[in-house]
Amino acid sequence: MTVQRRGNPKVVDANGIEKKIKRGHALRQASAWRGSRGPLVLLLGALAVCGVVTWLYISSQDSEITETLVSQGELVSPQPRVFTVQCSEDYENYKRYPGCTPQKCGRAVTDNVVTREEAEVLRRLAERGLALAGSEGGASILDLHSGALSMGKQFVNIYRYFGDQIKEVFTQDFELYRDVRVRIQAAIAETFGLDPSMMYLTKPTFFSRINSTAAKTQHDEYWHPHIDKVTYGSFDYTSLLYLSDYGSDFTGGRFIFMDPNGNRTVEPRAGRISFFSSGSENLHRVEKVTWGTRYAITVSFTCDPAHAISDPALPLATHG
């Protein structure tokens, strides 16, 4: 019988086994890296997108203040600061009134028409009237002409709702209010080369009170961009008289002209008047108020006598 020869048994190489184990670990780690690389790339991509979005957001916030036309700390006097813009074609769609319809368009700011003391008197008038009710949201209005007053989510007529008691609220007549309207009208006429006798007060003309309370109805959403000539129809010239100070009475609440090449702001100052032609050349909005309370009066004018309204006056006493 043939004897089969067996080879010598192999000697275990501990060092070799250790090397194989390390190599196996390395391969598994490499495999794990390859497996996780996809999600990691997605995560890095998401972070990059977030970074871009954040940068764009910051840039858009900065674009809100492309240029500050007039800051709160400036005193624009004696002459108004005028910024001319090209008139839009809007006015071609309306009847033209020589001596009034805009031929020169733009915007202007002045601190030389109403004093800060007069603005304080008008603010107290607004505070007394708006204290009767007010919106549940952040924006309340009081129209002394029609008597419209924000109350909750609707409006009431203060002259009908409160009757003769309204005279106890408004302890003085509206003489200063009327006098200020005349001065604003004269300033607009002089700036735009108009005949003031061809300009007429038009509605709505109102006090506004804006704070940071969340909006409850669309009437509270004052911050949307709009064009006065489109929104109201009768407007040809719009003015705002500010009754409180940006930065000390409230933050946010700046007036923003939205031009094709950037946004330009006016910072409110008590007694300051900002006025402008009402067409689409002056698309604008109000920045959201973030703190405090912003008071102002909107006073607007039309060239169409059919849309004229009278100055406000307290109604005659009723007798039972």
Q: Which of 281, 275, 185 is nearest to 230 (CA)?
A: 281
Q: Is the pLDDT of residue 93 over 60?
A: yes
Least confident of 2-11, 155-164, 282-291: 2-11
Decide if 206 contacts 141 (C-beta within 8 A).
Answer: yes
Cα angle: 253, vertex 256, 258; to 5 degrees: 155
CA distances from 212 to 64, 122, 132, 207, 223 (A): 19, 22, 20, 17, 12
- Identify the band that residue 88 occupies on the pLDDT scale cut at 50, 70 and 90: very high
Q: How far apart are CA 208 and CA 149, in angstroms?
A: 10
Task: State the pLDDT confidence band at 92, using cuts at 50, 70 and 90.
Answer: confident
Terminal-to-terminal C-alpha distance of the chain: 145
- Token couple for 43: 């995560």
Residue tagged 């509206």 (tokens): 174
Q: What is the pLDDT of residues 209-249, one digit of tens each?
A: 999 999 888 878 889 999 999 999 899 999 999 999 999 99
Amino acid at site 312 = P
Residue 208 CB contacts under 8 Å (≥ 6 apart), including other chains: 139, 140, 141, 222, 294, 295, 296, 297, 298
d(CA 140, CA 154): 10
Q: Which of these ranges, 45-54, 108-117, 184-193, 307-316, has the smallest mean pLDDT? A: 45-54
Give 3-state DSSP helix, strand, coil % of the chain, rounded to 5. Answer: 35, 25, 40
pLDDT at residue 47, rounded to an integer = 47
What average pLDDT does this structure show over 164-186?
Answer: 85
Give the pLDDT band of residue 314 (cuts 50, 70, 90).
confident
Q: Given pLDDT bands bounded at 50, 70 and 90, which one contains residue 64?
A: low
Q: How far is residue 151 CA from its own chain's centroid? A: 22
Average pLDDT estimate for 115-136: 92
4: confidence class by pLDDT, cuts 50, 70, 90? very low
- For the chain, percent of residues with pLDDT exceeding 90: 58
What residues contact residue 293 under an 8 Å CB cut-off, 6+ apart?
A: 209, 210, 211, 244, 249, 250
pLDDT band at 38 (very low <50, low <70, confident <90, very high): low
The mean-pLDDT minimum among 55-59, 65-69, 71-75, 256-260 falls in 55-59
Give helix then strand counts, H and E, for the chain: 6, 16
Which segment of 23-27, 31-35, 53-57, 260-264 scores lowest on mean pLDDT? Answer: 53-57
Classified as helix, coil or strand, 140 is: strand
Pure H helices in the chain: 14-63, 116-130, 158-161, 166-169, 175-192, 228-232
> What distances in angstroms separate CA 38 from CA 29, 42, 47, 160, 263, one per listed residue?
15, 6, 14, 71, 43
The mean pLDDT of the chain is: 83
Confidence of residue 34 (pLDDT cuts 50, 70, 90): low
Residues 266 and 280: their CA atoms lie apart, in Å, by 18
Largest CA distance in the chain: 146
Residue 20 structure tokens = 């194989």
Query: Of 161, 144, 134, 167, whose CA–CA distance to 317 is shortest?
Result: 167
Catalytic residue ranges: 294
Q: Indicate whether 281 pLDDT > 80.
A: yes
Give the closest residue to 149 by CA, choosing from 126, 168, 171: 126
